[in-house]
A = this chain, B = another copy of it.
Amino acid sequence: MVVIPRQTRQRAEILDLLEDVDEFRSAQQLHEMLRARGSSVGLATVYRAVQSLSEHGDVDVLRTEDGESVYRRCEQRSHHHHLVCRSCGRTVEIEAGQAEAWAAQVGAAHGFDDVDHTIELVGTCSTCRAAAAS
């Protein structure tokens, strides 16, 4: 019942690009980067690709403060969370076992089942802090 996406030039190029990028990027940014690389992929195709990739767990999705979806290919394929620099976008993948245990416990205490959690951290990384101080 699992549908395997067809292997096309476009998907390959998008995956290649994602390998080279370390920060969360929007579909539009990815599209622009592809064009800058000289490859032509339609914007709609980029949207379809990142969407399908995220459904398969191959990329992670975040929503920015202004509602834009941003994507990133993470090292860890298993469930994890992110600590993102609000200035440069540098991203650290973090384990949140402790916070997740707390979430499950709080949910249970209020009689809730199947509790999903959204946990994301945003801060200023040491590099950007040093740059700002100068």
Q: Tell whether A122 pairs with B116 under 8 Å between CB atoms, given A67-B63, A83-B106, A99-B103.
A: yes
Expressed in whole angstroms, the Cα–Cα distance for A121 and B107 within the complex equals 8
Chain B residues with CB under 8 A of A112: 83, 85, 92, 121, 123-126
In whole angstroms, what is the CA distance A111 to B128 when docked? Answer: 11
Prevailing SS type, chain A contact patch: strand
Count of identical protomers in the assembly: 2
What total of chain A residues lie within 8 Å of the partner, measured CB to CB? 33
Contacting pair B123 A115 (CB below 8 A): yes
Tell me the complex Cα distance, A125–B107, Å: 9
Interface, chain A (partner B; CB < 8 A): 63, 67, 69, 83, 85-86, 92, 94, 96, 98-99, 102-103, 106-107, 110-126, 129
